[in-house]
Amino acid sequence: MINPPLACPNVFRWGVLFRLLVALTFLWISVLPAAGQGAAAAPVAPAAVGIVAPTPPTPPSLPAISGGNATSLVNLQIGSGNERQNFSTAIQIVFVMTLLTLAPSLVMLMTSFTRIVIVLAFVRTALGVPSAPANQLLIGISLILTFFIMSPVIDRVYNDAIVPYQAGEIDSSTALERGSQPIKKFMLSHVRPSELDFFIGLSKSSAVTPEDIPFSCVVPAFVLSELRTAFQMGFLIFIPFMVIDFLVSSVLMAMGMMMMPPTMIAMPLKLLLFVLVDGWMLVVRSLLQSFGL
């Protein structure tokens, strides 16, 4: 048996319509008094009550036109007008950072550091003690001696280039040129003519005076000269220690002690000889005298 459909949907529809009509009626009743009050509260013209109305603010005038171009009210200038000076300052900063990066190489190749560290390394090897003194101590001694030897050159660079540049008497290019002259003079005083002529010929430079020789020729010639001088001094240092090795080996062979390593006997004798003759003082004195001190 099928039940008849219920009338609930129709009742629900009529209820919704009734509620909608009631809401619209209340809304219409609430709007009418508000509209009447708004019309009654309309402002009276200022002329009717004798009050002068305030003058409305004048809108900003348009920029004046001169020569067909409007003068802008906003300054669009970037910088202070010294763009060329700022650009050169940026280049100087990059140049200084590059020098700081290459400073260890410049110290090793353009000063007395190369000769000193090689000679001290030869002394350590000739003694037969490759770990005494340590590398850090050896490099520290070389740096101290380098600063001692280069102190006149450093003072001249400071007085001729850095002080006038800080005082604003010269520009950066002039300071660089003045500062490079003492260093070039130092290198030329310790370079061999054969190495210098070799690099000048390769570069096809037309330099007449030592001041005209470019750094590209002076620096490699100076490095080769320092290497040659350092190896010559190292060979002279090796000779007495080689004699001790030969004597110890010959004595051990004559005594039939062929299984005894000669180093065990030779190294204490070499250390004893080096201490008795004050070897470090002799080596340092020879290095300083080789640079004209």
pTM of the model: 0.62
DSSP states along 100-162 = HHHHHHHHHHSSTHHHHHHHHHHHHHHHT-TTSS-HHHHHHHHHHHHHHHHHHHHHHHIIIII
Q: Tell me the C-alpha distance between 183 and 218, whole Å.
A: 10
Mean pLDDT for each 10-residue chunk of the chain (293 residues)? 46 57 58 47 45 53 49 48 52 76 79 90 86 85 90 88 82 81 87 85 76 82 90 90 86 79 81 86 89 79
Angle between helices 83-109 and 215-254 (to 10 degrees): 20
Quickly tell me which residue has 């290459």 as its tokens.
102
pLDDT given for residue 119 in this prediction: 92
pLDDT given for residue 176 in this prediction: 80
Q: Tell me the C-alpha distance between 106 and 116, whole Å.
A: 15
Per DSSP, what are the bridge partners of residue 65? Answer: 70
Q: Let me know: does 266 contact 128? Beta carbons within 8 Å.
A: yes
pLDDT given for residue 178 in this prediction: 84
Instruction: Please compute, for residue 193, the number of CA atoms within 13 A of its CA located in the half-sphere on the CB side.
Output: 0
Q: Let me know: does 233 contact 122? Beta carbons within 8 Å.
A: yes
